[in-house]
Structure 1
Amino acid sequence: MPEDAQAPPVCWLQEQFAWLESTLAEPGYCTGEPFTSAEAYLFMLSCWAQQLGVDLSPYPRLMAMRERVSARPAVVAALKAQGLLK
């Protein structure tokens, strides 16, 4: 995909991540507790965003939530099964 074609999706993602950053619960998930499908979807969006070159460092709450999700045994197993994790 040409670089200029990536700009709109990247800008949109950054806007959404900025909004999420202001609303994410600490140390819980999107809605506090428990883990829901929203976290699973947000985890995947953040993975795809990184593949697009989106810098996630301005979003520490998002990064913390992502770390919590990536440590879940079922997530680790799914990533291993898909060959995305050693």
Structure 2
Amino acid sequence: MDKSIPVRIQRQTKGRKGKGVTVILDLPEDPKLLADYAKQLRKMCGVGGSVKNQTIELQGDQRDASKAFLEQQGFKVKLAGG
């Protein structure tokens, strides 16, 4: 697992009827790890979310909380986009 590649966190609304979601990209392609991180983030933020196409999606703007969590896990994090 390569933690030197920066993980990108962005907020998206396109194609979601104006509802914002936080999308976490460039995580390691380990389905078990992604599911575990998604579960922890959902619980920590108190929101719904899912794993889709090697990304984690969380409801609402959860960029700051996600960034703090991933940095605790040892990842380099970049906030990308709007």
The normalised TM-score by structure 2 is: 0.29
Select the structure with the greater relative contact order (CA < 8 A; seq sep ≥ 6). Answer: 2
Higher strand share: 2
Looking at CA atoms only, which structure, 1 or 2, has the larger radius of gyration? 1
More helix by share: 1
